[in-house]
Amino acid sequence: MYLVNIYLPNKVVFPGVRVIDAKLLDTDILIGMDIISQGDLAITHKKENTWMTFQVPSSHSIDFVEEIGKENEKIKAKRVRKNNRKKKPRYKR
């Protein structure tokens, strides 16, 4: 067991983290919940690219389910407005 300082690319430092030496497949380090629970972690995958972002301290909640629900409501509202325009009676002169 070792005590190490973990430096993240966003200039966040976790000093004195207890670690063990282990063989990991194609990985240099495994970050555990002891660090992840200190902030916000998001992992996304789009167009064959995986992105990870982490911030400390936590600033807000991220809820993908809620975001999808809001986006679906916007789409439904847009369809209703579009359909209402089509249903307007046309008056002949």
Averaged pLDDT for residues 12-23? 90
What is the value of pTM for the model shown?
0.56
Contacts of 62 (CB under 8 A, 6+ apart): 40, 42
Give the integer Cα–Cα distance in Å for 38 and 34: 7
Give the integer Cα–Cα distance in Å for 80 and 83: 5
What per-residue confidence (pLDDT) applies to 92? 65
Q: Which long-range contacts (CB under 8 A, 24 or more apart) does 54-63 make?
A: 54/8, 54/10, 54/12, 55/10, 55/12, 56/12
Q: Are 54 and 40 in contact (CB under 8 A)?
A: yes
Give the integer Cα–Cα distance in Å for 65 and 45: 16
Over residues 33-90, the pLDDT tens digits come to: 989 999 998 888 999 999 888 888 888 888 888 888 888 888 888 887 777 776 666 6
Averaged pLDDT for residues 12-41? 89
Q: Are 42 and 52 in contact (CB under 8 A)?
A: yes
